[in-house]
Amino acid sequence: MSETSTQLYPPPAEMARTAHVPGFAAYQALVQEADADHQAFWGRLARDVLTWRTPFTQVLDESNAPFYRWFEGGTLNASHNCLDVNVERGLGDKTALIFEADDGTITRESYRQLLARVCRTANALRAMGVQKGDRVVIYMAMSIEGVATMQACARIGAIHSVVFGGFSAQALRDRIADTGASLVITADEQVRGGKRLPLKAIVDDALALGGCEAVRQVLMYTRTGGQVPFVPGRDVKMSELLPEQADTCEPEWVDAEHPLFLLYTSGSTGAPKGVQHSTGGYLLHAALTTRWTFDLRPEDVFWCTADIGWVTGHTYITYGPLALGATQVVFEGVPTYPDASRFWQMIHKHQVSIFYTAPTAIRSLIKACEAAPAQHPRHFDLSSLRILGSVGEPINPAAWTWYHEHVGGGRCPIVDTFWQTETGGHMITPLPGATPLVPGSCTLPFPGIAATIVDETGNELPWGQGGMLVVKRPWPSMIRTIWGNPERFKKSYFPEELGGTIYLAGDGAVRDEQTGYFTITGRIDDVLNVSGHRMGTMEIESALVAHTELVAEAAVVGRPDDTTGEAICAFVVLKRARPTGEEAQRIAKELRDWVAKEIGPIAKPKDIRFGDNLPKTRSGKIMRRLLRSVAAGQAITQDTSTLENPQILTQLAEVN
Ligand code: PRX
């Protein structure tokens, strides 16, 4: 552990007095309330935070665990909670979204305007035949329309599944096919870093790959007006359909357990899984964590830099802040365009008070601002900031300290929020008015979240001993199932070895011996975290071996990387002789481009090493442990006596 990681940063005195959770004793009181009566705790909050059409009659039904059901009997609508309720509260003229385009153009939309837009979109979806329970795939970039489209699906009870705009046609096809979607919503193009990138053309390619026959229509938002192919009878322009629609729309009142969305994420084996979230429980935790973790106040300007293609963009853009009537910034572009001061300029321009980003963005900005000192945050007035957040991967103490000092001016607490696509919202996180901070630690569980650390047999471990992170009690925003694969849901998250009802996060963790603070030590399965993006090694291996002309065998592992956290390293055996020199570089490039085509640019391996073979045991099993050491450039200290071909390690250590 580095030196800085032992320093304690107490909450600012003013925040400890006035925050939603004011001081550590207030945090402890909430934890005790939840421990004393878990159901009463969540029931109280569900009544306080959400607006129900019909009240629930039971908080938690555990009769079919691990298929937990929350807020039985209750009906509500997520879009009604996020929009109508705020307009009714008198926030109609308050700015809901401040959209800043890649080129700096700013568009503001009030709650009343956003409600009207969502209603028109919802009416358009109904006019296209979309009904409650139908799946709608959204393949769009950051935009007011993207957020409104998600909300419109929620309004009519359709289940959205947003696919990140960086995924390839093949990856998009797989997701459309798995959901059985009847409609795809996209844009003509997206604009990032001064470049136009295709979206609609990729949708066309995805549909042409086959397996998406349920798709009857494609709805397209015109972002750039660029030339894109148009299929008459199938494709519809938003600009033509929306103006015809009424700007009121009766919400579809759904059961609390009605699926709100599916979001695909990577596991250690098999194809990406469609994580299914509910309406009531999910929305409760989205709103509650936004309120407590970010101490959201009516006058705040909230900015979460995530993309709506990831869970962070769902919970902390589309649902949490809107459910609380917040004003938020939505940004189309990238942090380094036109230069690395973009974030600082935007924070100042929009008077952002709560800023939530990923460690990988911070690390790349540290580098860029060191290279171009005029872009350093110290040259910008960031005095509007009061709270900073971090998400997606561990934040190393050096990046934490830079963020705290240079962005937060030494006065803003950093909430290092640990959570996952499956958890729906924050699980382990400081609360800014309550929790003393330690750089590199996500500190303590959110009230009501029974996180702990166990060994392989499910025995709880004492503080100081590393093990597997689990959650002992269900919580409202937990994953409900894997779409179409309940067996995989049970096996992945509620393994029999742990008793079948305890949630296994898939991360390793350790608690500090004195404070009990959690530090996440990284995934315990074959899932990588590259720039905060989650990827399965198996997915990348499958993409590589799908190049049947070139590749005989491939193994993918992660290695530490200063900027991206982890980097992808692929070990490849070709169907031809092992290449060297320029030929090796040429083939490596071809394979990188191939993976970008199969999955998306985010899955491109940083290193590709060629070998005559892979290190295998005598029974033919690839020894990934050894490959991880080779990839990290470490000396092999592990026992290699079971290895069939130990000399292969020297060959694989050679970098092209
Ligand atoms: O390994 C943990 C890491 O990201 C994984 C979840 O990835 P995903 O489902 O894509 O969701 C990312 C956004 C919530 C976790 O299993 N992770 C996430 N947040 C943190 C983290 N690791 C350490 N510290 C965090 N704050």
pTM of the model: 0.96
pLDDT of 230 higher than 90 = yes
| Mean pLDDT within 423-431 | 98
- Pocket flag, ligand 1, residue 358 (CB < 6 Å): no
* Domain residue ranges of the chain, discontinuous segments joined by +: 77-334, 531-653
Pairing of strands 354-357, 387-391: parallel
> Is 280 one of the annotated binding-site residues?
no
| Mean pLDDT within 466-470 | 98
Confidence of residue 3 (pLDDT cuts 50, 70, 90): very low
How far apart CA 468 and CA 463 sit, in angstroms, is 13
CA of 419 to the centre of ligand 1 (A): 5
- Pocket flag, ligand 1, residue 479 (CB < 6 Å): no
Which atom of ligand 1 is the closest one to the Cα of 523?
1
**Atom 11 of ligand 1, residue of closest alpha carbon:** 420
pLDDT of 488 higher than 90 = yes
pLDDT of residue 198: 97
| Mean pLDDT within 377-398 | 97
- Pocket flag, ligand 1, residue 110 (CB < 6 Å): no
Confidence of residue 5 (pLDDT cuts 50, 70, 90): low
| Mean pLDDT within 625-633 | 93
Query: DSSP string spanning 309-359?
Result: TSHHHIIIIIIHHHHTT-EEEEE-S-TTSS-TTHHHHHHHHHT-SEEEE-H
pLDDT of 640 higher than 90 = no
pLDDT of 4 higher than 50 = no
Spell out where 485-637 has E strands.
503-511, 518-523, 527-530, 533-536, 551-561, 565-574, 607-610
Q: Which fold has domain 531-653?
A: GMP Synthetase; Chain A, domain 3 (3.30.300)
Q: What number of residues does the chain have?
A: 656
If DSSP states are collapsed to H, E and C, what string results for 564-582?
Answer: CEEEEEEEEEECCCCCCHH
> Is 419 one of the annotated binding-site residues?
yes
pLDDT of residue 643: 84
| Mean pLDDT within 308-328 | 98
Confidence of residue 344 (pLDDT cuts 50, 70, 90): very high
Among 69-73, 267-271, 593-597, 624-628, name the one with the lowest average pLDDT: 267-271
CA of 394 to the centre of ligand 1 (A): 8
425-455 residues labelled b (16+ CB within 10 A) or e (exposed): bbbbbbbbbbbebbbbbbbbbbbbbbbbbbe
* Closest by CA position to 262, among listed 493, 480, 495: 480
ipTM over 0.90: yes
> Is 393 one of the annotated binding-site residues?
yes
- Pocket flag, ligand 1, residue 274 (CB < 6 Å): no
Query: DSSP string spanning 207-227?
Result: HHTSS-TT--EEEEE-SS---
How far apart CA 96 and CA 210 sit, in angstroms, is 39
Domain 77-334: state its class: alpha beta
- Pocket flag, ligand 1, residue 529 (CB < 6 Å): yes
Do residues 288 and 309 lie in contact, with contact meaning Cβ atoms separated by under 8 Å?
no
User: Which residues, 6+ apart, have CB-to-CB distance to 548 below 8 Å?
Assistant: none
CA of 22 to the centre of ligand 1 (A): 27
> Is 551 one of the annotated binding-site residues?
yes
Which atom of ligand 1 is the closest one to the Cα of 306?
13
Tokens found for residue 580: 């060297």
Write the CA distances from 614 to 132, 339, 447, 636, integer angstroms.
Answer: 50, 43, 47, 15
**Atom 4 of ligand 1, residue of closest alpha carbon:** 392
How far apart CA 380 and CA 189 sit, in angstroms, is 32
pLDDT of 372 higher than 90 = yes
The mean predicted confidence, pLDDT, of the chain is 96
Cα angle value 478/484/488 (rounded, 5°): 65
DSSP state of 284: H
Report the amino acid identity of residue 652.
Answer: L
Q: Which of 275, 414, 415, 418 to mutate to test the pocket of ligand 1 (most atoms within 8 A of CB)?
A: 418
